[in-house]
Structure 1
Amino acid sequence: MGLSQEATFKNPIRNGADPWVFQKGDHYYYCSSSGGSIAISKSSKLTDHGVFQKVWDAPDQGWNSANIWAPELHFINSHWYIYYAAGKKSGGPFIHQKSGVLKSVGKDPFGPYEDKGMLYTGDDITDPGSVKWAIDLTPFKHEGSLYAIWSGWKIDSETDRTPQHLYIAKMSDPTTISSNRVKISSPEESWETGGELDLNEGPQVLKNKNLTFIIYSTRESWLKDYRLGQLKLKDSTLDPLVPENWIKNGPVFLGNHAVHGVGHCSFAKSPDSSEDWILYHSKKVADPGWNRDIRLQPFKWRVDGSPDFGNPVSLDKRIPVPSGEKE
């Protein structure tokens, strides 16, 4: 039996951070890290992520043996891929993080997966050893070509209190970056700076008809001022590898007195495709720290085609379930 028009839910959806959802067919696939593993769940609902099943364990040693962060599950060219960040040493300072990718052996999102290694995120593609610190890597297709966008450092450092920037590079296939990185955003605007550490991270591609946006997180993830900014490609035919082709705007999603530190989002359509939804995490309390939960709410589009995320919904407000969601 379908839910009535009056069916509602309340945030948060679940505990956790860095929420990822991938929509394929009639199902949503969620991806999460826990300790040294990556897990996936499958659900017909946006409001209920189902039961997570472990699909990969980090190796006992090596560049990706620790600090597994923010995995993303994508379906590209008939295979599933998981993009993630990891380091060679557990705990902080988090100065060893690099980006890697797993590829499904078959066509099952629950694996098994083959570790395809570290992705190149540096300035000299001829020297694999020159790879730079990189997290939150996400792939996207544009005008028939595949690209990767991520958050990185200009140079590797001995402190994790290092500014983070957004970089883009071309991919020859889902497991291979084939060009040097290009910096397309730095934390330079007044709404991106002024705290303990200036950063841009968590980039996500959002498309609306012929418009391409990158929605990203800025300010400090452990503080209440974490928020979302936006880059817009000036024209759908322009080269995304040219920094001048992107226009920055923000903040486009900001916390308030009741909801703190909103960031690291992903997007999906409602089950009947009539609505757009943002999935994001928020701090449970205003005090510094990474105690977070995952929240969900609908958003609209402005006349100019840009997303209008509105304000984060407080925990005491009920929200109508996504259109078409069934029991």
Structure 2
Amino acid sequence: MLTLLFTTCKEVKNNEVANKVPASNKLAYKNPLNVKFGDPFILDNNDGTYYMYGTGGGTKDGFSSYSSTNLNDWEYNGQVYYGNTENSWNTANFWAPEVYKINNKYYLFFSADWKENPTNELENFKIGVAVADQPTGPFVDLTNKPLFDPGYPIIDANVFKDDDGHYYLYYSRACYKHPVESDIADWAKKEGLYDDIEESWVYGVKLQPDFKGVIGEPILLLRPPTSMDDKNAEWESRSVTSKEVNRRWTEGSFTFKHGDTYYIMYSANHFGGEHYAVGYATSKSPLGPYTKASNNPVLEKNTTKGGEVSGTGHNMVLFLKNPDKMLCVYHGRTKKTGENRVVFIDEMKILEDGTLTVEGPTTEAIKNPLSK
């Protein structure tokens, strides 16, 4: 998933590029990958092949995929899901696909606008599920309706299977029409910047075993700090304090378990801005309560330190066969790529005391994570 040093390139569909590297250079590569995806997600098919899905990348009304056997050279597979059809439940804004292999079936969880919109809401996002027999699709909607409707727009589905076999869905309530009282909202109003500050919050809920619905009511897990004295308030409020926009985000979550601790990683700030960054929280239960870490953010722009990367966020974690190897897969921007989001991959670690760290963003040559 990284652009290798001394690569040769070939053209692929949708004006994307898959990097090809001489065998003698397989151990050296560098970020970013030359694929214009946001919200990247990699599926390990457990047969030596990895599949990557993401938002955009030239795809219209749906999602495309790439495949690789070494996380370096990626082959474009074409569009794997088509939305906005006459019979589909969705119309636009196809975001944040995640694909899971379960009982030899492939399940695609994603966000999109729901056609059912009697009050003409500007943001009408819901989560859908599609299924296929192959990781390259074609994916067909499991039911021709959203997974569920909590009564507000939702995005960024993530699925976690616990040790007891139960599946959990994590998602973000969109900021739309969600003004929240807080210190930062009071400050912004006093400064004459914004009348209110809207927020997105991360929720969790148990999934039905057939993935056709949820069990019980969603539980609020994460939200931006209400007090500016909170250790995480400064970095999670940068989109507001920089006068970029009147919103604070908690989105793009990814949950996993390490030992007896549940980790949930999340992104804060505007996805289209330089301050997009990643933090994490921990719990002893999949549905919380979660406590945010004191070393957040664990992934952020390096432009203030002489680097060229900004807008780092919406990550997932790829677990390699080596139990000590965890990879943080995320999107970012560089001075060269401009507004285009491109994929990065950097190693991450959990220290003996449980502290999570990400060794990025990097743009220098590093060792292939699949090499021994």
TM-score, normalised via structure 2 length: 0.73
Q: Which residue of 2 aligns with 1:324?
A: 371
**In structure 1, what is the Cα distance between the partners aligned to 2:176 and 2:350?**
38
Summarize the Cα distance change of 1:6–1:70 in structure 2 as closer, same or farther, 3 Å threshold: closer
Displacement after TM superposition at 1:140 (Å):
0.7
**In structure 1, what is the Cα distance between the partners aligned to 2:91 and 2:73?**
30
Structure 2: 5+ residue stretches without partners: 1-21, 116-120, 180-196, 226-231
Secondary structure at the counterpart of residue 278 of structure 1: strand
Structure 1: 5+ residue stretches without partners: 123-130
Summarize the Cα distance change of 1:301–1:27 in structure 2 as closer, same or farther, 3 Å threshold: same
1:124-203 matched pairs, under 5 angstroms? 131-144=151-164, 145-153=166-174, 162-173=198-209, 174-188=211-225, 189-190=232-233, 191-194=235-238, 195=240, 196=245, 197-203=247-253
**In structure 1, what is the Cα distance between the partners aligned to 2:370 and 2:124?**
43
**In structure 1, what is the Cα distance between the partners aligned to 2:371 and 2:89?**
43
Preserved contact between residue 30 and residue 362 of structure 2 (Cα < 8 Å): no
Q: Which residue of 2 aligns with 1:45?
A: 70
Deviation sequence 1:95-140 (CA, Å, 0-9, x none): 1111111022xx3222333312301141xxxxxxxx3211001111
Q: Which residue of 2 aligns with 1:56?
A: 81
Question: Larger Cα Rg: Structure 1 or Structure 2?
Answer: 2
Paired AA for residue 302 in structure 2: N
Q: Which residue of 2 aligns with 1:232?
A: 282
Preserved contact between residue 204 and residue 266 of structure 1 (Cα < 8 Å): yes
Secondary structure at the counterpart of residue 270 of structure 2: coil
Secondary structure at the counterpart of residue 329 of structure 2: strand
Summarize the Cα distance change of 1:154–1:49 in structure 2 as closer, same or farther, 3 Å threshold: same
Q: Which residue of 2 aligns with 1:77?
A: 103
Displacement after TM superposition at 1:224 (Å):
0.8
Summarize the Cα distance change of 1:156–1:120 in structure 2 as closer, same or farther, 3 Å threshold: farther
Q: Which residue of 1 aligns with 2:10?
A: none
Secondary structure at the counterpart of residue 295 of structure 1: strand
User: Does 1:30 pair with 2:80?
Assistant: no
Preserved contact between residue 248 and residue 269 of structure 2 (Cα < 8 Å): yes
Find the partner of 1:312 among 321, 338, 361.
Answer: 361
Deviation sequence 1:62-89 (CA, Å, 0-9, x none): 6412111111111123321001110147
**In structure 2, what is the Cα distance between the partners aligned to 1:108 and 1:178?**
28
1:230-269 matched pairs, under 5 angstroms? 230-233=280-283, 235=284, 238=285, 240-243=286-289, 246-249=290-293, 250-257=296-303, 258=307, 259-269=309-319
Displacement after TM superposition at 1:7 (Å):
2.1
Displacement after TM superposition at 1:37 (Å):
2.0
Displacement after TM superposition at 1:297 (Å):
1.6
Paired AA for residue 241 in structure 1: L
Q: Which residue of 2 aligns with 1:87?
A: 113
Preserved contact between residue 178 and residue 200 of structure 2 (Cα < 8 Å): no
**In structure 1, what is the Cα distance between the partners aligned to 2:221 and 2:348?**
26
Q: Which residue of 2 aligns with 1:125?
A: none
Find the partner of 1:119 among 143, 147, 159.
Answer: 147
Secondary structure at the counterpart of residue 73 of structure 2: coil
Displacement after TM superposition at 1:182 (Å):
1.1
Paired AA for residue 127 in structure 2: S
Preserved contact between residue 223 and residue 286 of structure 1 (Cα < 8 Å): no
Per mean C-alpha deviation after superposition, the further-off stretch among 258-267 and 54-63 is 54-63
Highest relative contact order (Cα 8 Å, sep 6+), 1 or 2? 1
Q: Which residue of 2 aligns with 1:103?
A: 131
Displacement after TM superposition at 1:167 (Å):
0.5
Preserved contact between residue 272 and residue 324 of structure 1 (Cα < 8 Å): no
**In structure 2, what is the Cα distance between the partners aligned to 1:303 and 1:274?**
12
Preserved contact between residue 83 and residue 102 of structure 1 (Cα < 8 Å): yes
TM-score, normalised via structure 1 length: 0.82
Find the partner of 2:267 among 208, 217, 220.
Answer: 217
Displacement after TM superposition at 1:154 (Å):
7.8
Summarize the Cα distance change of 1:176–1:88 in structure 2 as closer, same or farther, 3 Å threshold: closer
Displacement after TM superposition at 1:155 (Å):
7.5
